[in-house]
Structure 1
Amino acid sequence: MLFRKDLFFAKKYRAMSVFIQKLNPITGINDWIVQNEDYDYHQEVARASFADMLHDTERNQLYEKALIAAIDKMHLKGKKANVLDIGTGTGLLSMMAARNGADSIVACEAFKPMSECAKKIIKLNGYEDKIKVIHKRSTELTVGKDCDLTERCNILVTEVFDTELIGEGALSTFSHAHKTLLEEDCIVVPESATIFAQVIECPLVQDWNKCKDIFDEDGKLLIAVPKNITYCAGSSAVHDIQLSQMPTESINTIVSPIPVLRFDWSGRTPFVYERSTINSVKAEASGKVHAIFMWWELQMDTENKIILSCAPKWAHPLGKTNTESEIPWRDHWMQAVYYLAKDFTVEKGEELNLISCHDEYSLWFNISKDLKIIDMHYLNPICECGLHISFSRTRIGQINDNKRNKKYISLLQKHVSSESTVLILSDGFFTALAAAKMGAKKVYVIETSSICSRVLQDYINYNKLENVTIIRTINQLVKDNVQDINLVISEPYFTSSILPWDSLLFIYLLKGLQTCLTSDAKVFPQKAIVKAVCVQFKDLHKIRSPLVNCEGFLMDHFDKLIEESSDISDDNVEAQPLWEYPCVALTNEQEISMLDILNNPTTLQESSGCFQISSDLECNGIAIWIDWVHDGSVISTGPTEPIVVGEKIEWDIHTRQGVCLFPNTLKKAINYDFKFDFISGNILFKYKF
């Protein structure tokens, strides 16, 4: 029986927390966990990327510059400047309008946490009497007496763009605003937008889309890619990356960047929700056409003098007069790669047709030498082979990684014989199918996903591997009384993995296989070594850094909101593809923990230590990865070159690393604790200054 005080706290606890089922990627089991009842709300706040945008100084200043021009233009006409701010977020653009002479401002924000936050920030900065904040979508606003807007506005300012420009519904937002909320002679900030495309040859990019055949060290074909995968149109889904971090020597420009689509937000021309354009161009270099690089720029003012560009470093307007470090960094607006279903060879000077298409929310591209024979099937690619649905772009690149594959082939050649019964315990590990070609008696592959299983079966059928069997669960192996497996090989990689150590699922799967293994069975990998290094990120830390002050406005309430939500919803370590985010090493790499896979940990594995920083650079992060040890060879998910203190780290381009981010501060020592509870499958990495 609960006493009154106990009952009070029990009710309070139930009100604050709930039990939910959540997949533990390390154990592969759905755990019942206690979670804040507003977890989804806090996660949405923490991941909203408002801070990332507000750290974009150029964006902020160009918006204000264009707002000043619009307000002044209305006043020169003898009219009041009545501003509508759609998607106000923190209220930054509305406050800019207020301090630059706008006569009235209505700011709408559909995301309630941000609309409440905006009200507090606007009041904190002394503009509550000039700005009216409404918690609604712009399409829900009403105009008239006793309505949201007493009259139509004559200035619209909004930022409703994503990497594809129109993916957040920009077309419908602007169209509705002009029909319902704005005067005919209004000014829109931004005025228009232009999409640019660059046709390129780049084997590195192609490796993220097309699988390659696998050969042994003598050049003999081991595993060929099935034709249905080779010729699959792929997916039209955007692949957004930081193109400026691509090695420029890997890119052969077939057609330099050209404007291909223009969007007029001013309302002077009708809004078109679907269209295609064709640009006739000449190849500037010979090579294979692999993909299209795409980005956009905003024309902020009516005179097209204020330009906000999202171009990579080699095409950015500031690139000709500024150093690379002065080109604005953005993570909310990146560049994108669009893959072509068919690559083909072109000669310098050859005529090409660049086809650019869009619907209400997305873009796609194609290249044709002859418009009369273009295959309409490839205009908007759809994956039919299953590979592009099953695996991420970076995973496909990982599958194509020659350096990794050579290590696996060497391992197989060393240990596979006619007496081998092999178990492949990894998702999409097509390289390991070579064991069947090397004479293994039997090869089992565990594949739980039906789509992945279909892709795998296509590989088996196409390569005529008669001694390979797909098993859907470990229990099936046990049920079939398989007891002669003497070689287990894994990368390891699993589609459920996010953080580097999530692939320790391999240990748990291995534990369920004990009755299937012979007493002398060989298992690879043999060890997992968790490593870390203290770094100074050039820009990445901004996505978690507090604002404090943004363009002269206090942002205390916003910082507090993000911090509280992050504490509730975020793990201490997050996954990021660090090759896209330059950083300098402040310490040597440090071994955090070594897990002996052959002698499975059974309870709790703990370690602690200290990073000693000798550099005078400010530390703003810790990067974490795993090295997998396979019979002496190492497959690393971290740096590709030895770390040198004070120099830039070169990261593996096909994996994501774990990252702890914190504000820039000068630190000489950072202590850490690492705990791996094998029973629960929980890993905890904590640091303190």
Structure 2
Amino acid sequence: MSLTPRSLARFKGTGSRAMSSGSTQRVFQLKVDPLTGNSEWVVIDEQDQEGQMPEYPQKPLLATTSYLDMLNDSPRNTAFRQAIDKTVSKPCHVLDIGAGTGLLSMMAARAMGSGDSTTRRGTEGIVTACESYLPMVKLMRKVLCLNGMGSKIKVINNRSDELKVGVDIPSPADILVSEILDSELLGEGLIPTLQHAHDTLLVQNPQTVPYRATTYGQLVESSFLWKLHDLRNNEAEACDGIHLIPSGLDGILHANPQQYAMHCDAIKEEIKLLSEPFKIFEFDFWKRPDSHRETELHIKATNDGRVNAIVSWWRLQLDCEGNFFYSTAPAWINSTKDSGARHWCDHWKQCVWFVPGQGTSISKDEEVHLHAVHTETSISYNLKTQAPRIEVMQDSLDTGDSQLILSPERIAIYGDSEWRDSMLKSMRNALQERVNSLCVVADDSLFLTLLVAHLSRTSHVISLFPGLRDKGAQYLQAVADANGFSMDRVEVLEKRKTHLTMHDTHQKKVDLLIGEPFYYGNDGMLPWQNLRFWKERTVLDPVLSEDVLIMPCKGILKACAMSLPDLWSSRRCLSKIEGFDHSIVNTTLGACGELPAPEEGPCLPFYIWQCGEIKELSEIFTIMEFDFSKPIRPCYGKAQVDFIEPGICHGFALWIDWVMDSENSIVLSTGPDKRYWKQGVKLLGQPVAVGVHESRNMGEYLSTVIEASFDASNGELIIGHNFL
């Protein structure tokens, strides 16, 4: 699962700490330097006075979380409001767990007239908003103050499982309202939260919003989904002689056996449905849930095919009568009753569970046995027609500490024949006429390390593995024989060093410095944050030979003007949500549109192909180049972009193409058509009509100038634009 501050706060802790000093509360936020991988705690000062913004506004603190997208989800907001209005019909005690900006708390207070002067003493309603993430608590207080709710809702900055009746709250709550759900449903700690609430914080037989959640699934065939996890069978088709998963070491390199959130509508043309949807588990919010359950399902196949994955989703019943629903089902599921069924949002997606290996072959009308298990935080599956998932994991235990777990996208890249062929050609060219060379792999590329050792029997390879470290060394030891090299020619530095010395390189200058670039754990970062390779190259400068060959030799920042209506709508500035003003949160949450000058929304990483409705409005163009033959330095680039398609421009997609050789003949793109990498997305403050129409209106633009500057001190990319 993907942990945001929202889920971390409810679970095991947060990426922030807090200290108080006088009237100022200091928030410590964990910041990672993209150029070095180093992390540090930075101080964010905000005044305690409600509604007062910091004198020197920080960068959007919560821009990378799902709060903004969720608050822009109108069907979700409406469904919760309708259910709360119906459920909270009289003054009572309402507890909101994971309150966020306080939206559900304000709905509850309004529904029962909490704090109304006409309410008799002793019958006043109480709303308690529990939120453990301090930056969000501070933001919530501002929202409550803005809406005149500051005195009507008690805010508690703590985890719900640390609350005590009679200490933190005056009495058990009559009604629980909460939204502690992720795409899988359970990943934000729904079950333990509900268990503790029912044990200690709620009256017997409480009312809840939501009332129930039901998970559903469907068997599918998809070569795209297969390639995201079955590296062994995909690399069998490669002709490079590299064995990332050698025979007998099936579990040494794999994706985690878990559900992965994904917009499955984006690949619906590449999915063959092999069954009707089936119900898996029901979770009743109004009673204490079990920590563990298992169920055996008998599913009739509706088509011949090979089951590569199980696509799953959930459906909320918000009220006890069953009048209000919300669903995360894919678009191919027909349901006119559900809110959210046709609404693109990024905070909740469908989930994909990969069936091991090449999948399971089934015939139409054949009955498939599916075993489903849920724990406190996850749901897993096993098709009984093949070896149980637990047996697959037991087989891999023979690899010991050498096991590596990578993201599905990384698994797919390593199994991609075109990508491997490009790497093979680049490395063969690099090794020509270089005898007894010293090669340093600067990043976490397993493939390049194996490739150099495989191709050159005389080269010595030092892999820095800044993220993998010892795990990378253990992996190499395990696969060395299968790849035809000895570990006396390959080494991984035992500890991370700021600078390499000639002692580390055995008194020899480095002839080859290579990378993909890829850094373990950076899968969700912006494309140019892999320019860490340029920083590493600069740090290594004292040990590089005069004729060192650096691969890639340069990076090219590419961009394309895009129509992204769904993504823009999910990130747009907030005004009133179900009658409650949220405009004060826009800067903190990194919204786009209607921000006061000169503020702009941040550039964020997305898989463009999963962003709902998309359309390219311009040719792909180059903004700037990064020359790795020289030490890292500030860069500036500017380009005029002509629109070739009419439409509404919502922003720009940006990525880096890696030029592997000096002849520019081998270029590895990470653009939108390459679905294994995220692009950076810079959304406009306001959508703009562009392109040539038959009857052009005055508001339409034919071109734009886009410029960007790269700050070599912190790895940040500043992007500006001017429509002409």
Match of 1:684 in 2: 717
Q: Work out whether 1:69 is the aligned partner of 2:86.
A: yes
Residues 113/464 of structure 1: CA separation in 2 closer, same or farther (3 Å cut): closer
- 1:361 aligned residue (367, 377, 380): 377
> What is the correspondence of 1:542-561 to structure 2 with a 5 Å cutoff?
542=569, 544-559=571-586, 561=588
- Structure 1 388/193 Cα, relative in aligned 2: closer, same or farther at 3 Å? farther
- Classify 1:596/1:230 alpha carbon distance in 2 versus 1 (closer, same or farther; 3 Å): same
Q: 1:605 aligns with which of 609, 621, 635?
A: 635
Among 307, 322, 326, the alignment partner of 1:308 is 326
Summarize the Cα distance change of 1:524–1:304 in structure 2 as closer, same or farther, 3 Å threshold: same
SS in 2 for 1:430: helix
Partner SS state of residue 454, structure 1? helix
Q: What SS does structure 1 have at the residue aligned with 2:231?
A: coil
Q: Work out which of the residue numbers 405, 408, 417 in structure 2 matches 1:402.
A: 417
- Give the counterpart of 1:502 among 529, 541, 545: 529
Q: Deviations over 1:254-273 (max 9, x none)?
A: 44431111111122xx5211
- Report what 1:643 is aligned to: none
8 Å Cα contact 2:519/2:530 also seen in 1: yes
Contact 1:223 1:434 in 2 (8 A): no
Greater share of helix: 1
Q: Report matched runs for 1:162-311 at 5 Å.
A: 162-212=182-232, 219=239, 221-223=241-243, 225-227=245-247, 229-231=249-251, 234-245=255-266, 247-267=267-287, 270-311=288-329
2: CA distance, partners of 1:220 / 1:127: 65
Does residue 444 of the first structure (1) align with residue 444 of the second (2)? no
Q: Does 1:675 align with 2:696?
A: no
C-alpha contact (below 8 Å) 1:25/1:496 kept by paired residues? no
Measured against aligned partners, the alpha-carbon deviations of 1:538-590 in whole angstroms (never above 9, x if no partner) come to 222345422111123222333355469x99x9994332222221433343333
TM-score by length of 2: 0.76
Match of 1:89 in 2: 100
Distance 1:570 1:289, change over 3 A: farther
Helix, strand or coil: the match of 2:474? Answer: helix
Aligned to 1:541: 568
Cα distance in 2, alignment partners of residues 633 and 261 from structure 1: 53
Deviates more, 1:578-587 or 1:387-396: 387-396
Contact 2:444/2:519 (<8 A) preserved: yes
Task: Specify the code of the residue in structure 1 equivalent to 2:127.
Answer: V
The structure 1 residue matched to 2:557, chosen from 530, 534, 539, is 530
TM-score normalised per structure 1: 0.80
Q: Distance in 1 between matches of 2:317 and 2:30?
A: 48
User: Quick check: 2:660–2:666 contact (8 Å CA) kept in 1?
Assistant: yes
The answer as to whether partners of 1:490 and 1:524 remain within 8 angstroms in 2 is: yes
Which of 471, 477, 480 is 1:460 aligned to? 480
Q: Which residue of structure 1 lines up, in the alignment, with residue 361 of structure 2? A: 346
Q: What is the aligned partner in structure 1 of residue 688 from structure 2?
A: 666
Aligned to 2:517: 492
Please report how far the alpha carbon of residue 29 of structure 1 lies from its aligned counterpart in structure 2 after TM superposition. 7.2
Equivalent pair of 1:214/1:221 in contact (CA under 8 Å)? no
Moved more, 494-503 or 214-223: 214-223
**2:393 equivalent to 1:393:** no
In 1, Cα distance between equivalents of 2:76 and 2:589: 21
Instruction: Pick the aligned partner of 1:470 from 458, 482, 491.
Output: 491
- Paired AA for residue 300 in structure 2: K
5+ residue gaps, structure 2: 1-20, 47-53, 115-124, 690-700
Is the alpha carbon distance of 1:616 and 1:35 closer, same or farther for their aligned partners in structure 2, counting shifts above 3 Å? farther
1:334 aligned to 2:349?
A: yes
In structure 2, distance between residues paired with 1:19 and 1:194: 38
Distance 1:430 1:470, change over 3 A: same
Secondary structure at the counterpart of residue 155 of structure 1: strand
Contact 2:75 2:343 in 1 (8 A): yes
Report if the CA contact (8 A) 2:141-2:150 is conserved: yes
In structure 2, do the counterparts of structure 1 residues 198 and 601 end up closer, same or farther at CA, with 3 Å as the change threshold?
Answer: same
CA distance in 1, matches of 2:277, 2:168: 47
Instruction: Give the conservation status (yes or no) of the 8 Å contact 1:624–1:659.
Output: yes
5+ residue gaps, structure 1, are 1-11, 73-78, 640-649
Cα deviation, 1:295-337, whole Å, max 9, x if unaligned, reads 2111112233422111122235249x99xx9811222222222
Aligned residues: 646
Correspondence for 2:118? none
Candidates 645, 650, 664, aligned match of 1:620: 650
Deviation, structure 1 residue 106: 0.8
Q: Is the 8 A contact 2:274 2:304 kept in 1?
A: yes
Distance in 2 between residues matched to 1:382 and 1:62, nearest whole Å? 46
> What RMSD, in angstroms, separates the aligned Cα atoms of the two structures?
4.4
SS of residue matched to 1:494: coil
Cα deviation digits, residues 193-226 of structure 1 (max 9, x gap): 1112223333322332232468799957443622
- Secondary structure (helix, strand or coil) at the match of 2:562 reads strand
Which amino acid is 2:636 matched to? E
Amino acid at match of 1:399: Y
Match of 1:593 in 2: 624
Could you report, residue by residue, the CA deviation over 1:81-110 in whole angstroms, capped at 9, with x for unpaired residues?
Answer: 654333333332233344445663413122
Per the alignment, do residues 532 and 179 of structure 1 end up closer, same or farther by CA in structure 2, a change over 3 Å counting?
same
CA deviation profile, 1:166-186 (whole Å, cap 9, x unmatched): 222222333333344444454
Q: Which moved more, 1:376-385 or 1:112-121?
A: 376-385
CA distance in 1, matches of 2:238, 2:168: 77
Matched letter for residue 444 of structure 1? V
Aligned counterparts of 2:618 and 2:278: Cα–Cα separation in 1: 43
Moved more, 428-437 or 196-205: 428-437
Q: CA deviation at 1:359?
A: 1.6
- Cα distance in 2, alignment partners of residues 122 and 364 from structure 1: 40
Q: Name 2:18's counterpart in structure 1.
A: none
Q: Please tell me the residue identity of whatever aligns with 1:364.
A: S
Amino acid at match of 2:415: N
Aligned to 1:427, what secondary structure does the other structure show? coil
Give percent identity, aligned residues only: 27
Provide the rounded CA distance (Å) in 2 between the counterparts of 1:443 and 1:521: 15
Moved more, 192-201 or 511-520: 511-520
- State the Cα distance separating 1:47 from its structure 2 match: 4.3
User: Which residue pairs with 1:645 in the alignment?
Assistant: none
User: Retained in 1: the 8 A contact 2:165–2:201?
Assistant: yes
Structure 1 position 241, deviation (Å): 2.0
